Chain A
């Protein structure tokens, strides 16, 4: 496993070197590689997608400037440097801004799921898919496990004890549930795509039919 870690470190080192050499595509690669992860982390920290996006832009700008100026002391730990920069910018921003309200770290975690971030349609779809997933589970115990783990604050050890599940099975249930959920969502996306394509096709046929009728009538 250490080889993967070393590969990552050497990739980071090479990326930093290329940015310092003035390679513009290297800057694009950094933004491409870290942009999505940064947004995810900042969205969880701030609980506000717009604010998270602002902070991401700010973080990437600071990181690129510091990299160009040779201020990244340990290029092997580029990810750690980017994370620290983002968190420091977040903390500085929170200190001066009232927009965070009185969030505590626990709320920070939960705020990522705040209302109004997703359209009602997506929310309903999420619920429907989760219900389908729950319906597919054979054991009541597995359903209870998922609910207690994701919604409760019980310690995983207590959940295992109460439900008489060994920790290996516990993790397997959690992992499989997420995997299955991703499959279900992928299928739903595909269905939606097919549906949209079909509607488009029907629309084109309709337009074609109408214009053909119009042409034949006008002759």
Chain B
């Protein structure tokens, strides 16, 4: 039996993941434990790894170590970010805002030793995300009107069944109605970019009485480009087949 490496969210593997049991050499070589704990394994590879570690004390201990490492890092960074806030306050108190990063860098490198520049970028990106979350929340609280419902047909053979869609000029909800072909009680849905980078995934989707699955995405989740949406019938372990849809998201049309 030849084993193939598991793939990190489909895009990292030079070859597709193949079914089959895992062994420790492969788990170590591809850091399957880390990929699993950080949520970077594909659902198939997660399933393979879970089947392996269910009765493997070594892997369970490795997962625990990875989880503790992740938790410890996350808290250390949070504590340091709080100290960075303190650095800003010190600098502000000194009346020299330009000194803020110097104070922070000193705090971080002396007391913590975390990579300072990465931390700066990370905090900036977290602040940006927080702001975006506030904006998204206020958008989400608006009643939805004229919500477009887009019926998607499955991808068969060539690329002719790509659905092209322009982003709305103002951000809003897009509802996709999908009629998957292998009928299942529940479905797993995976949205990937053209480069096969997974951007969203959900399990336990249930069809309506007409057999259709409805998924709403906020338009702000999309950058213009090609996306693939895959619906897999049945729970992850009893997949009865999947249906793929291809979406082309175009830039928002300019206001008339």
Bound-complex Cα distance A83 to B44 (A)? 13
- Interface residue? B63 (CB, 8 A): yes
Task: Mark each residue of chain B from 62 to 84: 1 if its CB lies under 8 Å from any CB of chain A, else 0.
Answer: 11111111111111110100000
Using a Cβ–Cβ cut-off of 8 Å, how many residues does chain A contribute to the interface with B?
Answer: 61
- Interface residue? A215 (CB, 8 A): no
Interface-forming stretch among A1-9, A189-197, A203-211? A1-9
Chain B interface size, under 10 / 10 to 19 / 20 to 34 / 35 or more = 35 or more
Decide: B12 and A156 in contact? CB cutoff 8 A: yes
Q: How far is the CB of B248 from chain A (nearest CB, A)?
A: 23
Contacts of B69 in A (CB 8 A): 130, 133, 146, 150, 177-178, 181
- Interface residue? B53 (CB, 8 A): yes
Contacts of B104 in A (CB 8 A): none
Interface-forming stretch among B92-100, B112-120, B159-167? B112-120
Decide: B113 and A91 in contact? CB cutoff 8 A: no
Decide: A175 and B28 in contact? CB cutoff 8 A: yes
Interface-forming stretch among B141-149, B200-208, B220-228? B200-208
Task: Mark each residue of chain B from 1 to 29: 1 if its CB lies under 8 Å from any CB of chain A, else 0.
Answer: 10100001101100000000101010011
- Interface residue? A202 (CB, 8 A): no
B residues with a Cβ closer than 8 A to A are 1, 3, 8-9, 11-12, 21, 23, 25, 28-31, 33-35, 37-40, 47, 50-57, 60-77, 79, 112-115, 118, 122, 186, 197, 201-204, 235-238
- Further 19 A-B residue pairs, CB within 8 A, beyond A4-B23, A113-B67, A113-B74: A1-B23, A5-B1, A33-B55, A37-B53, A41-B50, A79-B51, A83-B54, A84-B237, A106-B39, A127-B79, A146-B69, A147-B114, A149-B38, A150-B38, A150-B66, A151-B73, A156-B40, A171-B31, A175-B28
